[in-house]
A and B are shown apart, each in its own frame.
Chain A
Amino acid sequence: MTEIENKVAFDKKKALDSMVEYLTQSHIFIKYTKNFKKNVLLVFFSENLQKLIFEINKQTRKAVMLTDIYYSEPGLTKELIMHLYKEDIKNLYGMKIVTKKRIIELSAMHRLERDSFVKNLNLLIQVMKEWKSSNGLRNYFIRCLEPQDNFKKPLTPVSPEYKELESQIIKDLLSDMVYKIEFESLNTSQKKLHNDLKLINYENQYIENQYSIYVNQTREKDKNLEGILTIHTHVLHKYYLRSIWHKAEQRQEKHKKWKKVLEFLDSKDLLILRGVNRFFLKLVKDYLSQKDNWARLCYLGLKPRNLLWVEYLREFFPFLRSKSLHYDENVEDEIRKDVSRGLPDRMNEVEEALKAICSYNHEVGYCQGMQLVTHFLFIVFNDSDKVVETLKTIMEPPYYMGEIWKSGFSRLKLAIFQLEVLVGLKVPYLLDHLRKLEINLDIIVTPWIVTIFSHMTYQQKLPIETLKLIWDMFIVLGWPVLISASLAILYISLDKVLGKNLEETLSGFYLGLSSLNLSTIKKFSIDPQFLRQLEDSFNDQNK
């Protein structure tokens, strides 16, 4: 495959990445009724992508099934345009969504908004249609490999990225595999069908023989018509059961086949697949109910995060609801003052969320740094309920953030201890260097751990995309990620730090962060068992 094809496939992949995230966010549009009345409403897709929802307010919602939508395009119908022209309305950008039943007409305030909505919606419809056809998945992946008009973009001279190549190779393999599976299953199902037919024939004959014997007997004996009816329904019933069994078998096979395919998909693909129909909904649900599968997914990035983080937390930590409901006023004051500075926006929302958290667990109270975590979660979720829920969950094991933020910093001290040991083992030069400068590791890593690395992003040192990736892993794998990501950062900063003076050293850890990637963090992933041993010895020391 040429590099150009790779690039195009990569672009396509990127378009899909953003599509789900874009469509599940709410957009403000104006909707027109048949009588040209206008309603301002929120338009967004349900989380499983099955319904397009129009929400006027929390009580009034209308939904259109995705399967009912044919396509959408920019522009409005003539009648509506004439009407709007009379009203002299300007700066509205219209679009039509054509469904089975009618044409829905909307308009947006900005052209870009309308265009990207239309583009993404059409892309979704296209993907769905393909997946619903018999060899859909193969088509989808073949299309990923072959250039398509929709995704032709001007090429920029980029160095070949290994990650893309890797995903291409997987795709190649996958399309091969799908072909094989389909071919094999066709063969086996034909054979099976053949056997089944034979069996049914034999049985049929047998039952019919029995039936005629019985009928003859009963006719001769008491000529009871009811008996005949009974055995008749019995036979029908048997046929019915057999057909269901047959269907179930076929289904099972389909299940197995798709399960193998799921292993190769990333979270966004799974989400689209889940929206196709009930079969896939169930299949993907089963797949996502296993933690191991999430561990695989988190290394690929859990996109879109506003859905998947909460979904994961709800799946595995569902019983965390409110505890106590009071906090002292000092905390309130502290939060207000801290939130009012340093955050770019959303101060009020962050403040309210933090108060909710402090009332949930007043033992922890407010620790400086929590405001950054909360603000970051607002960027991801855009929804305060989800933010609070996530914060509550990560305060408990296996995340332990509550014990990190709590007065006394018991868990933070443990983190520093674990890191000191591990740095000694994995990055020994660094430890020597820090000793020479007479500084402890805690000076460096405290802000990283207290803010789950978001502090680095707010200092504009760590790209927010990387931060999200670290969080993907943190959400799924918990505490050990704090350790392994810290180790990875210490490791990649080595050349910026060694041989430097104190000031340069302390700022050196923030210089190379744009090169931080998941594979480095993965390389430093630590056996949880070992971390636990370190924890034990730490506790022994402090007794």
Chain B
Amino acid sequence: MATMECKIVTLGEGRVGKTSLALKYVKNEFHKDEISTVNANYLTKLVQIPQGSVQLNIWDTAGQERFRAIASNYYRQAKGALIVYDITDRKSFDKVVSWIKELKSQAEKNIVIVVAGNKCDMEKERQINRPEALEFCRKMQIRHFDTSAKSGNGVEEMFMELASQIFEANKGELGQSGRNSRRGKITVEKTKHRENSGKKGGCC
């Protein structure tokens, strides 16, 4: 069975929990005082979805505005983007629009975007109404998730959704894997993944 390899970037204002979400999902770790990301981190995880398996290569980027000056590289060839905002911080939600715009102009056309309202364990300090956020995402035709990197709520679902959307969007390419494998997006399953799937990988 072939594995689809795809690049995902996390975006969002500083301190909304991009690194925490990625870490929670990939390593099931949560640090209350996650240090601020300088430039970018890289994490990877193999996901099994009903249609097949997807290897998510997550580029977790720095939130601060000025790091975008060298960050445009990260959008290149990205198949998916996770835009995070903090439900207790109005400003971070207002920024979501500009991130979407930026992605539409800079990234690949068929990029899959999902939005995460993070820190939903702090419901008491919520500043953005849930209906408002949902309405906004519906207009943009983007899936919205309530997540909490602390409790883990919604994290798994969100990445699963992202993975399956990406799989759907890029199914076409999988068919031509033989020719296209050099580009690094689609590769035949490697030895180390055998134990995960239990089957022996095909070979070109």
Contact = CB atoms under 8 A, between A and B. Distances in A.
A200 to B, nearest CB: 73
B10 to A, nearest CB: 15
Contacts of B204: none
Interface string B29-53: 0001111111110111000000000
Interface string B129-173: 000000000000000000000000000000000000000000000
Given A367-B64, A367-B66, A368-B14, A503 B39 contact: no
A359 to B, nearest CB: 18
Interface in A375-419: 406-409, 412-413, 416
Size range of the interface on B?
20 to 34
Interface string A304-320: 00000000000000000
Nearest to B44: A503
A446 B71 CA distance: 11
Nearest to A341: B33
Given A440-B73, A503-B43, 6 more contacts: A337-B15, A338-B15, A367-B64, A368-B36, A416-B70, A443-B40
Interface of B: 14-15, 32-40, 42-44, 57, 62-67, 69-70, 73, 184
Nearest to B65: A407
B66 A409 contact: yes
Contact of B39 (A371, A406, A407, A442): A442
Nearest to A413: B70
A412 B70 contact: yes
Contacts of A338: 14-15, 36
A440 B71 CA distance: 11
Given A371-B36, A506-B42, A442 B70 contact: yes
A267 interface: no
Given A338-B14, A338-B15, A369 B69 contact: no
A506 B184 CA distance: 17
Contacts of A440: 73
B86 to A, nearest CB: 10
A451 interface: yes
7 contacts: A337-B15, A367-B64, A368-B67, A407-B66, A446-B38, A502-B42, A503-B42
A142 B90 CA distance: 70
A359 B33 CA distance: 27
A259 to B, nearest CB: 45
A342 B35 contact: yes
A455 B38 contact: yes
A451 B62 CA distance: 14
A541 to B, nearest CB: 16
B181 to A, nearest CB: 14
Contact of B37 (A368, A406, A503): A368
B87 to A, nearest CB: 15
